[in-house]
Structure 1
Amino acid sequence: MLMYVGRKLASGLVLFLTVTLVTFALVFSNGEKSVRNNLGELATDEQVARRVAELHLDQPVLTQYVKWLGDLLTGSLGQSFNSGEDVVTLLRSRIPVTLSIIFLALLFTFVLSVTIGVASAAKGGWIDRALQFVAGTAAALPNFLVGIALMFLFAIALRVFPATGYVPFGDNPRGWAQSLVLPVAALVIHMVASSAQQFRGAMVDALKQDYIRTLRSRGLPERAVVLRHALRNAATPGLTILSVQTIGLLGGAVLIEQIFALSGVGQFTVTASLAGDLPSVMGVVAFGTLLVLVVNIVADVLIAWINPKVRLS
């Protein structure tokens, strides 16, 4: 198991370096243009050239990347081109917001997907058809439209939850939960649709296997057959699709944070991109890549723990 985890960590490191290098090359190849935009239209060529030299943007991209990577290892992401503040400081207050949304969305998506998928596959009949209809309808609804609808219904019309804003958990746990209900629900409704369908398909295939018929013929309770044996084999494709959805979840979080005025990484990404703040953009890329890698590695480890055959493949 340790060797398997080591291989996953090594492949994750290679992927992180590849993604950040390619992104860095694309972003910093337009460094002079970004500097000119930051200085304004009235800036002279000499002022632009001086600023480019101060930021070391006149050096080869690979040299700049190696320096950025070295700073990253020391816990620094450079200074913002716009404010001059440390990028880590700018992200520190925003990361908890985005992490709260993403991990709560993943947790509820997993629980609901397993529940709906197992119920559809095991019960069948009208329950299966009804759940598939609801899941198909939810899959067709973009999460930003769901977010707007939830805001109008529960925040404006019913006044059950706040429409905008984020409350830190340390300040008020109840306020933290209330501020995240609508954003998380907007993401979960869309994600559960595809995940539940995946779990259902895997469960249907698992319940058709010969060993399931053998267990039933031996008089094992149906509950144990479904939850202890069939679900164990169906978990692998379910966890795989859930880990893949993390990438889409990051994109959805950008829109949801804009709708609910949450000062998270998504909102920061939009601001930094429009302003041409290259160090901030790279900080966001590093955070997003690490988050996706961590979720995927955790999912792979869980799959290998559930199905030991995966460790040998």
Structure 2
Amino acid sequence: MVEGRNRFSTTSATESTLWSTRMFSFILKRLFSGIVVLLTVSALTFFLLYFAGGSIARNIVGDQASPEQVAAKEVELGLDQPLIARFASWLTSAATGDLGRSWFTSEPVAQALSSRIPVTMVMVVTAMLLIGILAALLGVAAAVKRGPIDRAVQVSAIIGDSIPGFVIGIVLVTLLAIQLKLFPATSTIAPGVGVDAWILSLALPVLALVLNGVAGGAQQIRSAVIKQLERDYVRTLRSRGISENEILFKHVLRSAAPAGLTVLSLQLIGMLGGVVIIEAIFALPGIGPLAVSSTSQGDLPVVMGVVIYTVAVVIVVNLVVDVINGWLNPKVRVS
């Protein structure tokens, strides 16, 4: 018996080591593909901005500037160089962490991003944590009870998909900020302010994002839990006398978690694009207003910085979700 137990321990350790090796290889492959995606998106953005815009130098120096002043500005910005040479120069600098300076404000791009990324990320991460918790609770309740909660979740999911997040934001500002004056209508976040200013300024934007996404997440988790409850292994566990709570929380949720995590990751990626309007509504000093203003001006270094940040977040989120799914799902471990 001791020999059998030792053999089982050795087999388990071998499988764990094999899975860890394969997962490490998988992570390296995903990182490599992420770098390829990052380079591809950066190149497309760089070239499209040059072809889509007019005379950037003229926009910077103004309409009253002489041709000589425009030409001098083009030389200063490197716009007199071939397009491929410009991209190679930018890529070389970006690889060392130097994203350049804004063409209009001369502010370092890294500094412009670092002062705005925390606002956006705190808002998005807080909203996603709340969506994840509430969606899991509502989804499981709807799948198990199959009563008023189930119908409420399905109706709310339809309504949530039909109403854009910025509409919910406008309603919240009108009711809770302008009429009831419970929250500031615009952001009071600024360098050196306390935590209370952050909480009051982000409360309504986070609420708008949560209301827009929680019902859809709950609907997906509900479907995943119902699918697992209908599987043969659940009937087998019930026949062995295992309690419903243990079946639900130890087995069903673990098997349904990958589907829920995938949906939440897609919501987070979509939220990164949707916060542009949300931040504009609440006058938040986040990435959204910076992306809009720099794109409209043709401020290439800033636009490229925003693109790199956004694509990097998407790559990291997808990688983390894949790793968690591999840890939760035994089939992924074997394959």
Query: TM-score per shorter chain, which class?
Result: over 0.9
Q: Residue 3 of structure 2 corresponds to which residue in structure 1?
A: none
2:261 corresponding residue in structure 1: 239
Q: Are 2:61 and 1:39 equivalent residues in the alignment?
A: yes
Moved more, 146-155 or 163-172: 163-172
How many residues in Structure 1 have an aligned counterpart in Structure 2? 313
1:190 aligns to 2:228 (yes or no): no
Mean Cα displacement is larger for which, 203-212 or 118-127?
A: 118-127
Asked if the contact 1:195–1:238 (Cα under 8 Å) also holds between the matched residues in 2, the reply is yes
Q: Give the deviation of 1:81 after TM superposition.
A: 0.9
Whole-Å Cα distance in 2 between the matches of residues 39 and 189 of structure 1?
Answer: 45
Q: Report the CA distance between 1:312 and its aligned residue.
A: 5.2
Deviation at 1:163?
1.9
SS at match of 2:42: helix
* Aligned pairs for 1:43-62 within 5 A: 43-62=65-84
Q: Find the structure with the greater CA-based Rg.
A: 2
**Contact 1:151/1:182 (<8 A) preserved:** yes
User: What's the RMSD between the two structures over aligned residues?
Assistant: 1.9
The offset of 1:96, in angstroms, is 0.8
Partner of 1:209: 231
The answer to whether the Cα contact below 8 Å between 1:4 and 1:311 also exists between their aligned partners in 2 is no
**Equivalence for 1:251:** 273
Match of 1:19 in 2: 41
Residue 180 of structure 2 corresponds to which residue in structure 1? Answer: 158
Q: Give the SS at the match of 2:174.
A: helix
Moved more, 4-13 or 99-108: 4-13
Identify the range of structure 1 (27-36 vs 147-156) with the bigger mean alpha-carbon deviation: 27-36
> Is 2:138–2:149's contact at 8 Å kept on the other side of the alignment?
no
Equivalent residues of 1:120, 1:127 under 8 A apart: yes
Is this contact kept in 2: 1:97–1:166, CA < 8 A?
no
Judged with a 3 Å threshold, the aligned counterparts in structure 2 of structure 1 residues 73 and 204 are, in CA distance, closer, same or farther, namely same
Stretch moving more, 162-171 or 236-245: 162-171
Measured at CA, do residues 271 and 206 of structure 1 come closer, stay the same or move farther in structure 2, by a change above 3 Å?
A: same
Structure 1 residues 36, 308: closer, same or farther in 2, change over 3 A? farther
Q: Distance in 1 between matches of 2:239 and 2:259?
A: 27
User: Alpha-carbon deviations, 1:64-105, whole Å to 9, x = none?
Assistant: 222222212222211111111211122221111111111112
Q: 2:169 aligns with which of 143, 147, 156?
A: 147
Are 1:271 and 2:293 counterparts?
yes
* CA distances 1:175-212 after superposition (whole Å, capped 9, x unpaired): 32222110011112112232222111111111110001
Q: Does 1:284 align with 2:295?
A: no
Match of 2:151 among 108, 118, 129: 129
The CA distance in 2 between the partners of 1:40 and 1:170, in whole Å, is: 35
Q: Is the 8 A contact 2:189 2:284 kept in 1?
A: no
Q: What is the SS of the residue equivalent to 1:220? A: coil
What is the CA-CA distance between 1:269 and the residue it aligns to? 1.0
2:195 & 2:333 partners in 1: Cα distance?
40
* 1:70 alignment partner in structure 2: 92
Task: Please name the residue that 2:137 is paired with.
Answer: 115
CA shift in 2, pair 1:210/1:170, >3 Å: farther
What amino acid is aligned across from residue 74 of structure 1 in structure 2? T
Letter in 1 for 2:126: L
Separation in 1, partners of 2:161, 2:294? 31
Tell me, which stretches of 5 or more residues in structure 2 are unaligned? 1-22
* Residue in 1 that maps onto 2:242: 220
* 2:264 maps to amino acid: L
Find 1:100's aligned residue among 116, 122, 134.
Answer: 122
Give the one of 85, 88, 96 matched to 2:107: 85
The answer for the alignment partner of 1:173 in structure 2 is 195
1:311, distance to aligned residue in structure 2 (A): 4.7
What are the Cα deviations for residues 32-70 of structure 1, in whole angstroms up to 9, with x where unaligned?
622222222223333323322221123233322222222
Stretch moving more, 59-68 or 117-126 = 59-68
What TM-score do the two structures reach when normalised by structure 1?
Answer: 0.93
